[in-house]
């Protein structure tokens, strides 16, 4: 059985430019195969500009990685469409469409759909495959059993990628919740998300950590991890496992996945070690068809 | 501008028609639509009766098939499309690309609207849906501002329908998984947000608390009105503050924007609330009919009347209304 490749998802947070450049300089040395690059959340985040992303893509390809350009998930303004067209027209790199507006510009060429494009059944997958889809990312709320059915009906030449590590992308809004938490209007947000390199944790009134605010995106507070499910992922012939970057320890996460995939490390031991890198503990309920926030850990399945 | 009103059951459908709806929308009694609530929606027989009632009075009937089937459910959704077509509805409101594809292939003459659950917020996405599935109309998510709606209409290859009144989703519909994170079920997969079976109302020392999937959503003091624990409308802690971190429990009311929506070329305005009572449907439809007629007669001098707002406030969630994203005080 062939071993899945590893990818780094797009950085979902707003990090200072230097931090982004340093992150990818390091990532060039990590055992990942595919690197997704670009701003997928908020068009106001411009410390790293489109030309910088393109240059980073070139640099990572030179280092032997496959670079994919990720596009904005919530497209509203014309300026956002202009930037989208620029990314889609570049042509040097594959593009991850995070909205069907991007698919409209990409069809006929190979493209990827991100987790926010709702591919919930085989007919949707087949239709997109006919338009050039080369890889799709399983929507994060879908279970292992649904994935198994999708894999059974997967069109030829289409790869399947699964979000395997990170705070889960759960919702998108026109409202900026980080700005709201600071009592600021969105158009004067003062880029407060720069202060939360892994999102701003939201808790219930009894201090249960529940969600994470990341600008217009809402994430899970808990970190989703499929490190304990590698055997199952292999059986299901998943092609790519996505690791969503976090501000610290992403290299360790990549190394742990790689070592476990190669049988050089015990997944249960690795999963326990990685819990220290999770801001609010683990979750994996979606994989089992349960509430997303439930945590089974490595032992289940 | 067409007035599209909710019909959660036959009595609601009738009062919507009687009070001036141009079209009503409804769903089957299962998870093929995004108001999958116990006791709600139509059996095929009732639907038949409803369609006849509306038709005899010159009104249109739309059917919502706006959830996302997974492989195991595919046959059910397919059968629902066929059943709706055979019943003779005027349009299907669809979210899933696979369901759209099937409907377009099997029933090409039956009009297709892209549901708000289809998350289309830009005209590139609309061009995609129009080119491949021949959609005639889109219902746009409640996240666009008025200028954005106008820009969308200007460039859209299809008619644009907007939400005018009712519960307010602050998240892009079709892309919100908060409900399944807490309960395992979301609008996409199950046709309900914050489903009733996951809700708990617990008496506490000096009042009441509401939970969803065990997660504390809100605490109420004695005598305070407790609202349904829709996840995004709870009070949470961020840093040192406890507040409505995502959204206040308010509902959308755009009566005062009517002339602008008309001027922007919006084709239809939708009233939310298939889960609400026939009394709600009657009241809201009556007010909106009066407002639309007043606006059509004299858009220049139109303004929302205090008595309309008072009537609507009585049926609004949280008794407070907002212009939502159309006017973005928080942008």
Residues of chain B in contact with residue A293, where contact means CB-CB under 8 angstroms, are 181-182, 213, 215
Does residue A256 lie in a domain region?
yes
**CA distance linking residue B35 with residue B29, whole number of Å:** 9
To the nearest whole angstrom, how far is the Cα of B54 from the nearest Cα of chain A? Answer: 33
What residue numbers bound the domain in which A92 lies? 5-167+222-288
Domain tally for chain A? Answer: 1
**CA distance linking residue B72 with residue A153, whole number of Å:** 12
**CA distance linking residue A85 with residue A90, whole number of Å:** 8
Do the Cβ atoms of A181 and B330 come within 8 Å? no
pLDDT, position B259: 96
pLDDT, position B317: 66
Nearest to B240 by CA among A191, A176, A205, A220: A205
Structure tokens at A148: 């198994």
Residues of chain B in contact with residue A210, where contact means CB-CB under 8 angstroms, are 182, 215, 236
**CA distance linking residue A218 with residue A226, whole number of Å:** 21
Which of A149, A173, A290 shows the shortest C-beta gap to B184?
Answer: A290
To the nearest whole angstrom, how far is the Cα of A181 from the nearest Cα of chain B? Answer: 7
Q: Kindly report the backbone phi and psi dihedral angles of residue B70, in degrees, each rounded to the nearest multiple of 5, phi listed first.
A: -100, 170
Does residue A180 lie in a domain region?
no
pLDDT, position B328: 58
Inter-residue contact A73 to A114 (CB < 8 Å): yes
Which of A81, A116, A127 shows the shortest C-beta gap to B98?
Answer: A127
- The more confidently predicted of residues A129 and B225 is A129
Q: Kindly report the backbone phi and psi dihedral angles of residue A271, in degrees, each rounded to the nearest multiple of 5, phi listed first.
A: -60, -40
Q: Kindly report the backbone phi and psi dihedral angles of residue A17, in degrees, each rounded to the nearest multiple of 5, phi listed first.
A: -50, -45
Over residues B7-15, mean pLDDT: 97
**CA distance linking residue A178 with residue A199, whole number of Å:** 9
Query: What are the percentages of helix, strand and coil residues in chain B, rounded to 5?
Result: 40, 20, 35
Interface residue A171 vs chain B (CB under 8 A): yes
Element (H, E) at A69: strand A66-70
Does residue A176 lie in a domain region?
no
Does residue A188 lie in a domain region?
no
Interface residue B92 vs chain A (CB under 8 A): no
To the nearest whole angstrom, how far is the Cα of B236 from the nearest Cα of chain A? Answer: 5
Q: How many CB atoms lie within 10 A of CB B327?
A: 15
Is the pLDDT score of B292 beyond 70?
Answer: yes
Q: What is the CATH number of the domain that holds A90?
A: 3.20.20.70
Residue B182: closest CA among chain A residues belongs to which residue? A291
pLDDT, position A2: 81
**CA distance linking residue A263 with residue B200, whole number of Å:** 45
DSSP string, B253-301: E-GGGHHHHHHHT--EEEE--TTS-HHHHHHHHHHHHHHHHHHHH-GGG
Q: Which one-letter DSSP state was computed for residue B317? A: G
Question: In whole angstroms, how far apart are CA A293 and each of A218, B76, B196?
Answer: 14, 29, 18
Four-point Cα dihedral B320, B324, B326, B331, nearest 10: 120
Is the pLDDT score of B276 beyond 60?
Answer: yes
Strand partners, A66: A34
Do the Cβ atoms of B124 and A84 come within 8 Å? yes
Does residue A281 lie in a domain region?
yes
User: For chain B, where do the domains classified as CATH 3.20.20.70 start and end?
Assistant: 2-168+250-326
Please state whether beta strands A200-203 and B236-238 pair in parallel, antiparallel, or not at all (unpaired).
Answer: antiparallel
pLDDT in tens, B100-142: 999 999 999 999 999 999 999 999 999 999 999 999 999 999 8
Q: Kindly report the backbone phi and psi dihedral angles of residue B4, in degrees, each rounded to the nearest multiple of 5, phi listed first.
A: -110, 120
Q: Average model confidence (pLDDT) for chain B?
A: 94
**CA distance linking residue A132 with residue A105, whole number of Å:** 11
Interface residue A80 vs chain B (CB under 8 A): yes
Complex prediction ipTM: 0.97
pLDDT, position B319: 53
Element (H, E) at A36: strand A34-37
Q: What part of B 203-242 touches A (C-beta under 8 Å)? A: 213, 215-219, 232, 234-239, 241-242
How many Cα atoms occupy the beta-carbon half-sphere of A251 within 13 Å?
A: 10
To the nearest whole angstrom, how far is the Cα of B33 from the nearest Cα of chain A? Answer: 15
Inter-residue contact A119 to A163 (CB < 8 Å): no
Chain length of chain A: 301
Task: Give the confidence band of A270 by pLDDT, cuts at 50, 70, 90.
Answer: very high
* Residue A129 burial class via C-beta count within 10 angstroms: exposed 0-12, middle 13-18, buried 19 and up: middle
pLDDT in tens, B164-212: 999 888 999 999 999 999 999 999 999 999 999 999 999 998 899 999 9
Chain length of chain B: 331
Interface residue A75 vs chain B (CB under 8 A): yes
Q: How many CB atoms lie within 10 A of CB A189?
A: 19
Q: Could you confirm whether domain B2-168+250-326 is CATH 3.40.50.1100?
A: no
Do the Cβ atoms of A168 and B181 come within 8 Å? yes
Q: What proportion of chain B, given as a percentage, has pLDDT over 90?
A: 86
Does residue A247 lie in a domain region?
yes
Structure tokens at A202: 């939201």
Residues of chain B in contact with residue A174, where contact means CB-CB under 8 angstroms, are 143-145, 170, 172, 325, 328, 331
Selected residue of A116, A118, A176 to mutate for chain B interface (largest B Cβ count, 10 A):
A118
């Amino acid at each position: 059985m062939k071993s899945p490749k590893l990818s780094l998802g797009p950085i979902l947070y707003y990090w200072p430019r230097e931090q982004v450049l340093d992150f990818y300089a390091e990532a060039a040395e990590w055992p990942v195969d595919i690197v997704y690059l670009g701003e997928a959340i908020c068009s106001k985040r411009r410390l790293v500009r489109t030309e910088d992303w393109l240059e980073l893509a070139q640099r990572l390809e030179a280092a032997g990685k496959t670079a994919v350009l990720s596009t904005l998930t919530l497209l509203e303004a014309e300026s956002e469409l202009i930037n989208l067209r620029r990314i889609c027209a570049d042509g040097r790199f594959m593009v991850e469409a995070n909205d069907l507006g991007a698919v409209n510009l990409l069809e006929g060429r190979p493209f990827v759909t991100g987790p926010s494009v709702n591919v919930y059944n085989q007919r949707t997958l087949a239709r997109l495959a006919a338009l050039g889809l080369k890889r799709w990312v399983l929507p994060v709320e879908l279970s292992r059993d649904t994935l198994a059915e999708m894999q059974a009906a997967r069109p030829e030449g289409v790869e399947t990628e699964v979000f395997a590590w990170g705070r889960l992308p759960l919702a998108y809004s026109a409202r900026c919740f980080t700005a709201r938490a600071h009592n600021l209007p969105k158009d004067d947000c003062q880029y407060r998300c720069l202060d939360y390199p892994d999102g701003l944790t939201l808790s219930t009134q009894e201090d249960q950590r529940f969600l994470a605010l990341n600008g217009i995106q809402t994430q899970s507070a808990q970190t989703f991890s499929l490190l304990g499910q590698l055997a199952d992922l292999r059986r299901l012939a998943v092609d790519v496992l996505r690791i969503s970057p976090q501000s610290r320890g992403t290299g360790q996460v990549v190394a742990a996945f790689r070592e476990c995939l190669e049988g050089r490390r015990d997944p249960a031991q690795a999963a326990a070690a990685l819990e220290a890198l999770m801001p609010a503990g683990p979750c994996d309920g979606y994989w089992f068809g349960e509430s997303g926030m439930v945590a089974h850990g490595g032992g289940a399945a | 501008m067409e007035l599209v009103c909710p019909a959660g059951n036959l009595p609601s459908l009738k009062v919507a028609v009687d009070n001036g709806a141009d079209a009503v929308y409804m769903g089957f009694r299962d998870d093929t639509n995004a108001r999958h609530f116990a006791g709600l929606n139509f059996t095929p027989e009732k639907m038949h009766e409803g369609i006849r009632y509306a038709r005899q009075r010159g009104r249109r009937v739309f059917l919502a098939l706006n959830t996302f089937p997974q492989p195991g459910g595919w046959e059910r959704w397919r059968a629902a499309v066929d059943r709706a077509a055979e019943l003779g509805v005027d349009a299907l409101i669809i979210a899933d690309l696979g369901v759209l594809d099937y409907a377009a292939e099997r029933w090409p003459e039956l009009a297709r609207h892209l549901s708000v659950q289809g998350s289309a917020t830009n005209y590139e996405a609309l061009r995609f849906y129009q080119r491949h599935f021949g959609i005639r109309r889109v219902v746009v998510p409640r996240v666009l501002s008025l200028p954005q709606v106008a820009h969308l209409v200007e460039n859209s290859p299809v008619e644009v329908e907007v939400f005018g009144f009712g519960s307010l989703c602050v998240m892009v519909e079709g892309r919100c998984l908060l409900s399944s994170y807490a309960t395992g079920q979301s609008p996409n997969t199950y046709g309900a947000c914050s489903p009733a079976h996951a809700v708990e109302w617990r008496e506490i020392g000096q009042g009441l608390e509401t939970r969803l999937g065990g997660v504390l959503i809100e605490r109420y003091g004695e005598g305070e009105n407790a609202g349904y624990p829709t996840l995004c409308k709870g009070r949470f802690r961020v840093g040192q503050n406890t507040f409505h971190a995502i959204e206040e429990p308010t509902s959308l009311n755009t009566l005062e924007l009517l002339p602008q929506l008309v001027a922007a070329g919006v084709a239809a305005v939708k009233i939310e609330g298939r889960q609400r009572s026939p009394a709600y449907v009657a009241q809201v439809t009556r007010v909106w009919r009066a407002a639309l007629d007043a606006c059509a007669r004299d858009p220049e001098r139109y303004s929302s009347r205090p008595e309309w707002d008072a009537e609507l406030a009585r049926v609004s969630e949280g008794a407070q209304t907002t212009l939502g994203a159309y006017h973005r005080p928080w942008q």
